[in-house]
């Protein structure tokens, strides 16, 4: 089968879901690649991708920001405006006409505006999540008026487009099951791959680990809350505890946290070794959809994890069995301090969490899930058989 894989960014280790899907599809099919690039480094990264041919459309950050601002007036989602440079649609049409793919794989909401451009060619879109839910949360709980205003604008526009995709019966891939009572037809659960090996514990001191993209507002807000409201209590309970923050592009506010047992590792080439150094991992995220990759990675690596009830519910892990959950500072302090000081409890959660991660997020598990989603296009009868994760 010939698959045209369209992405608004460069699949990489920092965008592991996109990269993993591309690699899986390329193993069994002929894949062409169309993507937006910001700089020469991304152009070089594209050369390493396992694709039959590739076409790259420049998307300068300045131009993307101008289009996003223009979207406020035109009514287009800011997300799709950001990823809609002038040459993208023309290049898509050229590849459709000349290469004649059997299927177009669109990657995340930023490519949702391209569905109609594909004409009669079947489309599968990996939304990852119904992103309008995040902006609905942002509109209600954003840290300032600007964020809340952005949430109101984007939520309406994104939901209208998501609803239209459902009405059009475009097969939609999601990284996690819909919450009970919110199921939508035509959606397929294909989780994100995480094959982190079980990491031997090498920490020299009780170490709490936070991993995340530090340009992401929800990550920054959750981390700042943890440091402000929870870290002093954890240090009081475990005086030699340290907090290691590992992430890409930390802003000034995160850099200023260093000290008082807090260290920062920016733009690390590999993050797996940091899980080996961790005693406990944390995911203090209180707004978001889908499954937090930091949670999957920690569990796969065998690191006991404390997270919010929302993150646990989205992933399908249970408090006290796979993770520990907490909502207020007292709960976070108690759960984290207990795991830092209780080897037996750490071992129990690590074993259970690792088993869950392998069963749901290993390469073998995700390959099967992706095959079911693609069967919606190539073999609809197979896709609708019982037990095949379709809503």
Q: Would the CATH topology of 2-194+363-383 be identical to that of 207-360?
A: yes
Q: Which of 117, 129, 52, 124 is nearest to 91 (CA)?
A: 117
| Entry pTM | 0.80
**Cα–Cα distance for residue pair 209/283, rounded to 1 Å:** 9
Indicate the CATH number of 207-360 among 3.30.465.10, 3.40.50.300, 3.40.50.2000, 3.40.190.10. 3.40.50.2000
Please give the helix or strand (H or E) that residue 266 lies within, else none: strand 262-266
Beta strands in 294-377 (DSSP E): 305-307, 324-325
Domain boundaries, the chain: 2-194+363-383, 207-360
> How would you write the pLDDT of the chain (391 residues) with one tens digit per residue?
999 999 999 998 778 899 999 999 999 999 999 999 999 999 999 999 999 899 999 999 899 999 999 998 999 999 999 999 989 999 999 999 999 999 999 999 999 999 999 999 999 999 998 989 889 988 988 878 998 999 999 999 999 999 999 999 999 999 988 766 777 889 999 999 988 888 777 767 899 999 998 988 889 999 999 999 999 999 999 999 999 999 988 999 999 999 999 999 998 888 888 999 999 999 999 876 778 889 999 999 999 999 999 999 989 999 999 999 999 999 999 999 999 999 999 999 999 999 999 999 999 999 999 999 999 888 765 444 333 343 3
Q: What pLDDT was estimated at residue 204?
A: 76
Q: Which of 391, 389, 341 is nearest to 366 (CA)?
A: 389
**Cα–Cα distance for residue pair 310/288, rounded to 1 Å:** 8
Please give the helix or strand (H or E) that residue 135 lies within, else none: helix 132-141
Please state which CATH number belongs to domain 2-194+363-383: 3.40.50.2000
Q: What pLDDT was estimated at residue 333?
A: 98
What are the phi and psi torsion angles at 54 (to 5°)?
-140, 150
Q: What pLDDT was estimated at residue 86?
A: 87
Specify whether the CB–CB gap between 99 and 41 falls below 8 A: no
Q: What pLDDT was estimated at residue 110?
A: 95
């Amino acid at each position: 089968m010939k698959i045209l894989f369209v992405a608004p960014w460069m699949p990489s280790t920092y965008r592991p879901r996109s990269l993993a899907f591309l690699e899986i599809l390329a193993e069994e099919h002929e894949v062409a690649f169309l993507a937006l690039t910001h700089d020469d480094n991304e152009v070089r990264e594209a050369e390493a991708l396992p694709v039959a041919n590739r076409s790259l459309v420049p998307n300068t950050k300045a131009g993307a920001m101008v289009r996003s601002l223009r979207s406020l007036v035109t009514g287009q989602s800011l997300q799709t405006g950001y990823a809609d440079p002038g040459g993208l649609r023309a290049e898509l049409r050229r590849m459709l006409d000349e290469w004649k793919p059997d299927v177009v794989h669109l990657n995340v909401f930023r490519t949702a505006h391209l569905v109609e451009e594909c004409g009669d060619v079947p489309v599968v879109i990996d939304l990852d999540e119904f992103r309008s839910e995040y902006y609905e949360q942002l509109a209600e709980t954003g840290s300032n008026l600007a964020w809340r205003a952005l949430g109101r604008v984007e939520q309406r526009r994104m939901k209208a487009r998501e609803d239209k995709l459902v009405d059009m019966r475009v097969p939609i891939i999601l990284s996690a099951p819909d919450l009970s009572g919110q199921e939508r037809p035509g959606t397929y659960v294909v989780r994100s791959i995480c094959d982190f090996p079980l990491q031997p514990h090498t920490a020299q001191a009780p170490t709490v680990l936070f991993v995340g993209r530090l340009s992401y507002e929800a990550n920054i807000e959750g981390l700042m809350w943890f440091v402000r409201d929870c870290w002093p209590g954890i240090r009081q309970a475990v005086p030699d505890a340290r907090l290691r923050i590992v992430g890409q592009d930390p802003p000034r506010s995160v850099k200023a946290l260093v000290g008082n047992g807090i260290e920062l590792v920016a733009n690390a080439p590999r993050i797996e070794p940091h899980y080996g150094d961790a005693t406990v991992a944390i995911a203090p995220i209180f707004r978001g959809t889908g499954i937090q990759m930091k949670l999957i990675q920690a569990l796969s690596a065998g690191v006991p994890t404390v997270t919010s009830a929302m993150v646990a519910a989205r992933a399908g892990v249970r408090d006290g069995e796979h993770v520990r959950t907490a909502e207020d500072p007292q709960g976070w302090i108690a759960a984290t301090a207990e795991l830092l000081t209780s080897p037996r409890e750490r071992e129990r959660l690590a074993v259970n969490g690792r088993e869950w991660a392998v069963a749901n997020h290993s390469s073998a598990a995700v390959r099967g899930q992706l095959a079911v989603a693609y069967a919606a296009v190539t073999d609809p009868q197979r896709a609708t058989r019982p037990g095949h994760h379709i809503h």
